[in-house]
Amino acid sequence: MISKVLSTLKSWVAGLWPSNARADVVAVLSNVSKHIDNALVVVKLIDDELKPALRNPTHDEPVIVQLEKFLIRHLDGNDLIEGRLEAQRLVYLAIPDILANVAVFLLSKAIPSAVVSSSILRLAIEFAYNVYKSAKK
């Protein structure tokens, strides 16, 4: 399904922009497609665990505690320290922004030794979320 959508997007891009701009857009789509599988796992994890914990808390725990518990369950080693710092940075955002930023953070940790821009990761998360949401219906 994902390859069919990407193929359709590439065809659509080919008809709209000149060839040099098309090449840039196709390169971005190809880069995003490399991270869709990991992004789907992250989206499902957040939807199953973090989203309900933040939206319907069962305990009187602050958001920072909920975030840290979630990140502790899914990170290890040096990433734990970075995860705690990320939780402290995100705690003042609105819940949708927290969820999106946690998704990008986790996806960046799931890609071993790769330097990928946060824009590419955000596109992968957005695309994965839309696929996940439509498959869930």
115 and 66 together in one domain: yes
Domain that holds residue 67: 36-136
Q: Show pLDDT as tens, one digit a residue, over the chain (137 residues).
A: 566 666 766 666 666 666 666 667 777 777 788 888 889 999 999 999 999 988 877 667 888 888 998 999 999 888 888 889 999 999 899 999 999 999 999 998 888 666 778 888 898 899 899 888 888 77
102 Cβ contact partners less than 8 Å away, ≥ 6 residues apart:
46, 50, 67, 70, 71, 86, 90
State how many domains the chain has. Answer: 2
42 and 101 together in one domain: yes
65 and 13 together in one domain: no
6 and 73 together in one domain: no
25 and 87 together in one domain: no
26 and 87 together in one domain: no
Total-model pTM: 0.77
